[in-house]
Amino acid sequence: MKIAILTGCANGIGRHITGVLLQQGYAVTATDVAVSQLHQVAISHKWPTDRLLLLPLDVRSPADWQRAISDTLARWGRIDVGMNIAGVIRPGYAADIRPEDIDFMVDINLKGVMLGTRYLAEVMKKQGAGHIINIASLAGIAPIQGLGIYSATKFAVRAFSLAAAGELRAQSVAVSVVCPDLVDTNMLTLQLDYPEAALTFSGNRTLTVDDVSRTILREALDRKRVEILIPNSRGWLGKFGNLFPEIGFRLTERLRKKGLKRMSEL
């Protein structure tokens, strides 16, 4: 039986992949800052209690991380997989974004992943095995106007994860960074009220949580790929655009109009 610890499990990708791992026979420590909501989810989804540990975890807190990892080790003795999934978004242009929104996104999206990776890596190095999976975004591949702070945090998650992957491979600890396009979660619903987020909606299709979970299982857990773009086509387009930023600026208005149209249809 493999042991996994996940963040952000009360909603979205974290909630879905918790259920998938439990179906596959994993024992799971599911965490979230909204722990009462997490308990309600566990009951409503009938997650098996014999292979489940529900814990409060504010990913910004080193003490919370240490407590969650300690409780997991006390219950099952090791950690095979750690997934840093928790994330937040507050759209806004660079000249308008509130300082408190900067703190909020940087602390949760970036500091939370860094802390989680740090404490998971410490355990996995001692074990001589393990796999850390960090959720970034295609906004960490190509910068998104109107979501500059969010995009910056996801660029940093990607950079940090790739660096950690290189550092830890000699200790048989794998690190994967997963960069999905727009996913049908509460984060999508939140952005519908913000025209600043129009570029997020410029793709042809919205991913489902099942799309993301299946890709994580196949490309990260099974194949141990370091960087995973979902979908590959949009990811590589973003990488290409980064080579020529001024050309990208010329395409932005057309993509923004497409995104606004899609937002009005959702």
Distance, CA of 163 to CA of 178 (rounded, Å): 14
If residue 5 lies in a helix (H) or strand (E), which one and from where to where? Answer: strand 3-6
Q: Going from the N-terminus, what domains does the chain have, and what CATH number goes with each?
A: 3-187+205-234 (3.40.50.720)
Q: Write down the mean pLDDT value for the chain.
A: 94
> Distances from the Cα of 81 to the Cαs of 43, 113, 128, in angstroms?
24, 14, 13
**Residue-wise pLDDT tens digits, 4-25:** 999 999 999 999 999 999 999 9
**Residue-wise pLDDT tens digits, 100-126:** 999 999 999 999 999 999 999 999 999
- Indicate yes or no: pTM above 0.85: yes
